[in-house]
Amino acid sequence: MPVLESTCSLAKLAPLEAVLFDIDGTLCDTDPVHHYAFREMLLEIGYNNGVPIDEDFFVKNIAGGHNEDIAARLFPDWDHEKAMKFMDDKEEYFRKLAPEQLKAVNGLHKLCKWIEDHGIKRAAVTNAPRPNAELMISLLGLTDFFQLVVVGSECERAKPFPDPYLKALEVLNVSREHTFVFEDSPSGIKAGVAAGLPVIGLPTRNPEELLTNAGATFLIKDYDDPKLWSALEELEKAVAT
């Protein structure tokens, strides 16, 4: 237990004011859906000489990224309008696939109830386009839970820059000293850390080492992880004392 308390503590955040969540891979495991959509659409245009992109390529070049950055990485020789049209079409394809395939990360609704019961503010902070973000939140039954949805493309800079998280702090009117973040990608973790926030990482699809190297405070398997609930219990005790 002493090791757990020293490495997985949130007590310094007491009293907790807000919890901020990424969406893709953090609220629900969307990477397989995004990977499928990209793979199929890239095959249609003969990308990579017709060889389907694999999981490793997806993690390195796409997962957690902002569409502008992904497009520049995938299509360095394309003009901006053509590249973004591909990305928009891919997002539309994702939205068609999502309703049949999205499931909440284990324990998510239990955690959301804890947050509501404690009167803690909450926001979703994402690089996903707003239509995707709102669809996923709706499919998970969390439309009434989130008080704010911050979208990277609507900020001056998207993740991995801190701007989306700084905007969430500003709009919610909360302190970074009393707020923490849930993220699943190195890009998102870097954004949270750059905003001065502790970040709990979920290695939903990304390797644990990448999340740790990006600066995650600690990692949890999912929202049922005893490490998380021990940290929240410790936080409650810190508030009580």
Catalytic (active-site) positions: 22, 24
CB 170 within 8 A of CB 151: no
Dmax over Cα atoms in the chain, in whole Å?
63
Rounded Cα distance, 94 and 31, in Å: 10
Cα angle for residues 27, 37, 50 (degrees, 5° grid): 145
Within 8 A by CB and 6+ apart from 20, the residues are 122, 123, 124, 125, 165, 168, 179, 180, 181, 182, 192, 197
Helix 80-101 vs helix 31-44: crossing angle, to nearest 10: 130
Within 8 A by CB and 6+ apart from 216, the residues are 183, 189, 199, 200, 201
User: How big is the chain by its Cα radius of gyration, in Å?
Assistant: 18
Q: Which amino acid is at 109?
A: H
